[in-house]
A and B are shown apart, each in its own frame.
Chain A
Amino acid sequence: MSGGLASAGRAAAPRLREADVRDALAGVLDPELDQSIVELGFVQRIRIEAAGHPQDAAARARVRVELRLPTYWCAPNFSWMMVEDARAALLVDPRVADVEVALVDHHAAEEVSTGVGAGRAFGEVFGAAPDGRLGDLRDLFRRKALLARQERALRPLGLPDEDLARLHIGDLPDTDDVRTYLAARAELGLDCSPRAPALTDAAGRPVSGEAAAAHLRRARLMRVSIEGNAAFCRGLLATRYGEVSR
């Protein structure tokens, strides 16, 4: 905890607290595991300092977040995305003046932390071709996650595959899994209106009754793959830091 925060303020907006930072970070996902970095236990430390004079009620905050990962070798590209997303998630808060997201205990900790902090592109730091940005990779993994979420949302409805192909978004029950699925659709800009088909491919195109079984088989495989990766990563993180795996 920082001493500056404890000082009295008559600010109109409440001072930034650790819980606010944690809430903002909860929306950042590990792109491969499709789970929140907070839930995964990747947020190791949060430090908040006043950017201006502690007595200044309008002083904005300087936030430092440390992120830890399941292994020393976690791929730098995916690590980069999480650090970048964490930074962006915090910078939208008007109370935040400055953010430092530090990747720790990682073979490319320095390059990723300072590179993202300086607003550079992945390729500028690592010299990787072709365009040096990670947008395509990010999109690919959002769409993989979409399929896994879709299967998780639709399978429990207990309908034959071809009947699932006839459902519309408006027919879906209000469950956690359905909401999670719709959130991914919205994020990708896919039609979320009640009349939109519920069973679509990763590009948002409707799946026919005939193709539904094969489509759902692939979506299930996607879900099983992500589940296994998440289980392994959670276990490795717990082992690495001497904690009990959840």
Chain B
Amino acid sequence: MYRAPDGEQYFVVDTHVHYWDASPENWANKYGEGFINCFYDYHRNLSPEEWVWPIEKFRLYSEEDMMRDLFDEGYVDVAIFLPTYLTDFYRRGFNTTERDAILKEKHPDRFILNTSWDPRDGEAGLEKLEEKVEKWDIKGVKLYTAEWRGDSRGWKLTDPWAERYLDKCRELGVTNVHVHKGPTIWPLTRDAFDVSDVDDAATSFPELTFIVEHCGVPRLEDFCWIGVQEPNVWGGLAVVAPFIHTRPRWFGKAIGELLYWLGEDRITWASDYAIWHPKWLVEQFVDFQIPDDMTDEYGQLTPSIKRKILGLNAARLYDIAVPEDLREREPAETGPEVTEKPAVPTS
């Protein structure tokens, strides 16, 4: 929970966190090093200077670091694990369901544990999915469609086997499908960031919610266009959120576009921890206003909208109990604010 200087309170659900191990002894090859270095550049590039970690800590942070950063310092009420296996790069995997489960089991009220699947695992993968869902009462999965395996150059949500897995998700009540469309390392003649398969899957599986991570960035335009047509497509703000510090004007445009195309009820907030620390992200987001010269185009970010994005939307998606005093008050404040807004730096 975050209480802003003006007294407004916000329930915070961080919908995209990792508990990774990218230590050198876990690297399977040069890609293990290359992968974490790339994450580290994201971290260094968009974090305020005082929040930049040494590379050694960034590769492997402790359970204590994570608990303190998210819950003691970072205002997070509940955090959602999105596993990224990368077993081709890391001997024991990068951020697996099994590793995340260590923290989930110790702090069951703090974490929501998701898992992952790959349609190319066929029948055996379906069984494994069922086991994991049963063992940890899982409600969501993280999918990475651009992953290369053997002769396969990735897959689509519309592939027959992917449809079987989605059908299994529906059957098991795993209703939250987080789709990663971010940077890929795999060579493709088509655009690897292409989000169009989400469109078809969302139509075929109206019972499932498809949360497109990073709001499809670098294909924000394609994502928004799908989002406007498919009510069960949401956007996750991981990677978009930290632009607020170095590129506040662009962040204002991006959030303005998302509010226009998707509306305020289908956007979730995330730090992508440990790439970024939630403390500064939460503080800056709550403090943020659409710059004055852009409000004609994009309107205002009211406390009510911020409350939904920071936590209430995700709470709805995952049935998270929100303390009564932190729920949305009726009627929602939708009118323009009349208070004077703080100056937003232009860069």
Residues of A within 8 A of B (CB): 32, 71-77, 107-108, 111, 122-123, 126-134, 136-137, 140, 144, 217-218, 220-222, 224-225, 227-229, 231-232, 235-236, 238-240, 245
Contacts and interface: CB of A to CB of B under 8 A. Distances in A.
A106 B166 CA distance: 35
A106 to B, nearest CB: 9
A134 B189 CA distance: 6
A227 B183 CA distance: 17
A129 B153 CA distance: 9
A238 B191 contact: no
A127 B189 CA distance: 9
Contact of B220 (A127, A224, A235): A224
A107 B33 CA distance: 11
11 contacts: A71-B38, A76-B188, A123-B189, A137-B191, A221-B220, A224-B220, A224-B257, A225-B218, A231-B243, A232-B217, A236-B45
Interface of B: 31, 34-35, 37-38, 41-42, 44-46, 151, 153, 183-193, 217-221, 224-225, 243, 246-247, 250, 253-254, 257, 260-261
A123 B187 CA distance: 9
A245 B225 CA distance: 31
Given A72-B37, A231-B247, A239 B188 contact: no
A104 to B, nearest CB: 14
Nearest to A75: B192
A131 B217 contact: no
Contacts of A240: 41
B257 A235 contact: no
A159 to B, nearest CB: 15
A235 B41 CA distance: 9
Closest 4 CB pairs of A and B: A76-B187, A126-B187, A225-B220, A239-B45
B113 to A, nearest CB: 27
A221 B184 contact: no
Given A107-B31, A107-B34, A236 B188 contact: no
